[in-house]
Amino acid sequence: MTGERTNVAVLGTGGIGKRTLRVMEHKDELTPVAVCDSGGVAVDFDGVDTTDLVAADGGAVAAEGGSEVAALPDGRTTDDSVGDVIDVHERIDGVLMALPNIPHSFIPETVERFVDAGYEGVLVDVLKRSRVIDRMEEMEEELKGAGVTFVCGAGATPGFLTGAAAVAAQSFVEIEEIEIWWGVGLKSGYEGNVGTVREDIAHLDGYDLETVSEMSDDEIREVIDEHDGVLEFHDMEHADDRLLERAGVCDAADVKVGGILDVTQDKKPTTTTVRVTGTTFEGETATNTFQLDDDTSMAANVNGPALGYLRAGVFYNDNGIYGLHGPAEMMPRF
Amino acid sequence: MTGERTNVAVLGTGGIGKRTLRVMEHKDELTPVAVCDSGGVAVDFDGVDTTDLVAADGGAVAAEGGSEVAALPDGRTTDDSVGDVIDVHERIDGVLMALPNIPHSFIPETVERFVDAGYEGVLVDVLKRSRVIDRMEEMEEELKGAGVTFVCGAGATPGFLTGAAAVAAQSFVEIEEIEIWWGVGLKSGYEGNVGTVREDIAHLDGYDLETVSEMSDDEIREVIDEHDGVLEFHDMEHADDRLLERAGVCDAADVKVGGILDVTQDKKPTTTTVRVTGTTFEGETATNTFQLDDDTSMAANVNGPALGYLRAGVFYNDNGIYGLHGPAEMMPRF
């Protein structure tokens, strides 16, 4: 696809959306033609001028209820910003849905709206929860019929690390266990990632997505303080399991996801590591390892892969490959 | 492709060919329907019975000039075994070319023969040398016109480690250096891998592919003994560089391939490692790392990926994606 231009829409300008736009500045092939947040939309087929939005990343947060996108040169306020993007769907090649996973139905409903409008391009999300995959799989035939290529779970985990696991599995004829272990240091980045932290807290004992969705930002902060700013997670319901199973790499039950979130420092509290243990055709049991440098941020590891998968999705879509595709399926097959 | 059956031909039954057949025994979706060596061919659409051939792996070597394949239940001797496989090309989905890289023209000429015969499936090779890519690129339009999907350089390096490098690059917006460093312990496996060792020696100072192709097995052994059985390689002309450049990951000049071959022990003399150094969108320089367990053999790391890429190639071919594809291109895009 080198040299070709891909028109991208970014839905949502929270931490992930803003950083996606920043990464996109380094990708000549990708042009942001539509950007929206809950109250505003900006559309420009010469490329939305996102300078102010990107500059605000990590800085001041927009006034409550205000729209940062509406304040852009091409921006305006709107009651239905996703609808306004859908209105121009014919000129969009790929849509990155950097939307909250709360409630669960938000992303599937957004997909449904694009399909109903006759969109025939690529949709990418950075969803996390295993159970959302079921909902997406129910839409598989509808997506195929519509000519939509949907890449689901294309962030860091699931996404980057799921794909790395599928590659690391290639030494083996049978997989025993895949362990995904992440570290995130989020001191200065905390304010820009409250949504992600909220979703993580739902994995702690005694919490779920319903309870955290009703908590105020102060209540979220209280939970963090109770843990002295360091939260450790085990057996997270991250969709890596379902996505690796879909790709035929292993059973979902053989995938373990956990990690440590530290909001007291920017340094990662632990090194993000994927360990794939399996048996070779000679009968040897061994463990291949993929490690991200501590100096790669969560943002870098979400947004680079999300755009990488988006471009792979555009290649699929251009060649008539539609339907649902997880990151581990867009790889050499196991 | 789960549940579907892929008919595979394996050209060549040296170390790589035999191990491919062994790995294939673990893959229900893949059926070896044609197998050949230089003097014999076996064809059976219910699956060639390769038991005797696979049992011979690592054991006795066939009598000089003799064909192991001709001795199989479905086997027979032939003067043109590749031609005999081409005769049944209409019933073959994928061809794994486990053929010598010496001379350079052997694999491109074999590809040409399949194309000329009207083959419309997948061809996979495990070639190593950068310069062969040029020759293949010249055939790109011909491959596309013929409906052939050619996956080139799909072994360990290039192949497995090239793909891993392309994945590891996803944290970054710019790549500084990709270092591929391999270790191979080849004491008991030496006899079954003389061809590979011969090709490696061509990378040493004072040797090239032409000189090594004229050396006897005893002369190869002498070179090894001169190095006390441990050969260290730097700046190898492995096609990882060209294949990563094709995929837009980095310039070929930024890729370094080297490693250590130890024929005095089966234990790896060094851990096979891919290091990808780049800059994140925030401007941080960092290095992501992919490591293969020392207990995964060279054979496991060549043949698993070769079949994984073959299956990805079949997916491409089924969907009308033809032409030349390197391993780093069959990944999330950089």
Domains in chain A: ranges and CATH? 6-157+300-329 (3.40.50.720), 161-294 (no CATH)
Q: Is B1 on the interface with A (CB under 8 A)?
A: yes
Question: Which residues on chain B are in Cβ contact (under 8 Å) with A154?
Answer: 332
Mean pLDDT (whole number) for B21-30 = 94
* Partner B contacted by A182 (CB < 8 A): no
Contact A96, A11 (CB under 8 A): yes
Residues of A in contact with B331 (CB under 8 A): 163, 308, 312, 330-331
Residues of A with Cβ-Cβ distance to B16 under 8 angstroms: none
Order of strands across the sheet with A174-185?
A230-233, A255-262, A174-185, A273-279, A285-291, B285-291, B273-279, B174-185, B255-262, B230-233
What are the DSSP calls for A93-106, one per residue?
SEEEE-----STTH
Neighbours of A311 (CB within 10 A): 24
B279 part of contact set with chain A, CB < 8 Å: no
Reported residue count of chain B is: 334
The residues of A assigned a catalytic role are 128, 199, 203
- Comparing CB atoms, the residue among B173, B281, B290 nearest residue A290 is B290
Least confident range of A15-24, B48-57, B232-241: B48-57
Give the pLDDT confidence score for residue B90 in this predicted structure: 97
Contact (CB<8Å) B331/A331: yes
pLDDT for B61 equals 46
> Would you say the C-alpha torsion A103, A164, B179, A273 has a positive or negative sign?
positive
Please list, in sequence order, all residues whose beta carbon lies within 8 angstroms of the beta carbon of residue B241, skipping any fewer than 6 positions away: B130, B252, B253, B255, B257
Q: Using a CB-CB distance cutoff of 8 angstroms, which residues of chain B are in contact with residue A332? A: 154, 163, 305, 308-309, 311-312, 327, 330
Q: Does B333 touch chain A (CB under 8 A)?
A: yes
Those of residues 301-320 in A touching chain B at CB distance below 8 A are: 301, 303-305, 308-309, 311-312, 315, 319-320
CB-nearest to B171 from A280, A296, A315 is A296
Mark yes or no for CB contact A286/B296 under 8 Å. yes
Residue B171 near chain A (CB below 8 Å):
yes
Partners of residue B291 in chain A, C-beta under 8 Å: 288-291
Instruction: Concatenate the DSSP letters of all residues of A68-133 into one string.
Output: TGGGSTTEEE-S-HHHHHHTTGGG-SEEEE-----STTHHHHHHHHHHHTT--SEEEE---BHHHH
Answer for the pair B286, A267: CB distance below 8 angstroms, yes or no: no
Q: Do B286 and A294 touch (CB under 8 A)?
A: yes
* Section B89-103 average pLDDT: 90
Q: Report which of A108, A168, A169 is spatially closest to residue A138, judged by C-alpha positions.
A: A108
Residues A296 and A104 sit within 8 Å (Cβ to Cβ): no
B306 neighbors A281 (Cβ within 8 angstroms)? no
pLDDT the model gives residue B111: 95
Q: Chain A contact for B298, CB < 8 A? A: no
> Do residues A259 and A233 lie in contact, with contact meaning Cβ atoms separated by under 8 Å?
yes
The SS3 of residue B333 is coil
Q: Which residues of B touch A288 (CB under 8 A)?
A: 290-293, 296
Q: What is the largest CA-CA distance in chain A?
A: 63
Quick one: pLDDT band at residue B56, thresholds 50, 70, 90? confident
Confidence at residue A1, expressed as pLDDT on a 0 to 100 scale: 40
What 3-state class would DSSP assign to B267?
Answer: coil
C-alpha distance from B125 to closest chain A C-alpha (Å):
14
Q: Where are the alpha helices (DSSP H) in chain A?
A: 15-24, 51-55, 81-86, 106-116, 130-138, 140-146, 160-168, 194-201, 209-213, 217-226, 240-246, 298-318
- Tell me, what's the pLDDT at B58? 57
- Cα distance from B223 to chain A (closest Cα, Å)? 29
Minimal Cα distance from A2: which residue of B? B248
Report CB contact under 8 Å: B19, A281: yes
Both structure tokens of A11? 């839905």
Cβ-based contacts of A160 with chain B (< 8 Å): 167, 170-171
H/E stretch holding A262: strand A255-262
A286 touches chain B (CB under 8 A): yes
Phi/psi region, residue A47 (left: phi>0; alpha: psi -120 to 50; beta: rest), is left
State the first-to-last Cα distance of chain B, in angstroms, to the nearest integer. 26
Instruction: Kindly determine whether residue B171 and residue A304, on different chains, have CB atoms separated by under 8 Å.
Output: yes
B186: distance to nearest CA of chain A, Å? 15
Tens digits of pLDDT across chain A (334 residues): 444 799 999 999 988 899 999 999 999 999 999 999 999 999 999 999 999 999 877 544 454 458 999 999 999 999 999 999 999 999 999 999 998 777 778 889 999 999 999 999 999 998 888 888 888 899 999 999 999 999 999 999 999 999 999 999 999 999 999 999 999 998 888 887 888 888 889 999 899 888 998 999 999 999 999 999 999 999 998 999 999 999 999 999 999 999 999 999 999 999 999 999 999 999 999 999 999 999 999 999 999 999 999 999 999 999 999 999 999 988 877 6
CB contact under 8 A, A301 and B170: yes
Task: Tell me whether residues B333 and A168 touch, CB distance under 8 A.
Answer: no
Q: Which member of B312, B320, B333 has the closest CB to residue A332?
A: B312
| Cα B314 to Cα B316: distance, rounded to the nearest angstrom | 5
Tens of pLDDT, residue by residue over B109-162, are 999 999 999 999 999 998 888 888 888 899 999 999 999 999 999 999 999 999
By the CB < 8 Å criterion, does A233 face chain B? Answer: no
d(CA B246, CA B254): 13
Half-sphere exposure of residue B188, counting CA atoms within 13 Å on the CB side? 8
Identify from B267, B275, B293 which residue to disrupt to test chain A contact, counting A C-beta atoms within 10 A and taking the largest count.
Answer: B293
Q: In what order do the strands lie in the sheet with A40-43?
A: A75-77, A40-43, A30-37, A6-11, A94-97, A122-125, A149-151, A323-325
- How many residues would you count in chain A? 334
pLDDT tens-digit readout, B148-207: 999 999 999 999 999 999 999 999 999 999 999 999 998 888 887 888 888 889 999 899
Site of tokens 């969705």: A213
| B54 interface with A at CB cutoff 8 Å | no
A31: helix, coil or strand? strand
Chain A, residues 213-232, CB within 8 A of chain B, namely none
Strands (E), B63-204: 75-77, 94-97, 122-125, 149-151, 174-185
pLDDT of residue A104: 75
Residues of chain B contacting residue A323, judged by C-beta atoms under 8 Å apart: none
Which residue from B286, B295, B311 is facing A286, i.e. has the nearest CB? B295
Q: How far apart are CA B167 and CA A321, in angstroms?
A: 22
**Residues of B acting as catalytic residues:** 128, 199, 203
The reported pLDDT for the residue numbered A56 is 77
H or E element that contains B167: helix B160-168
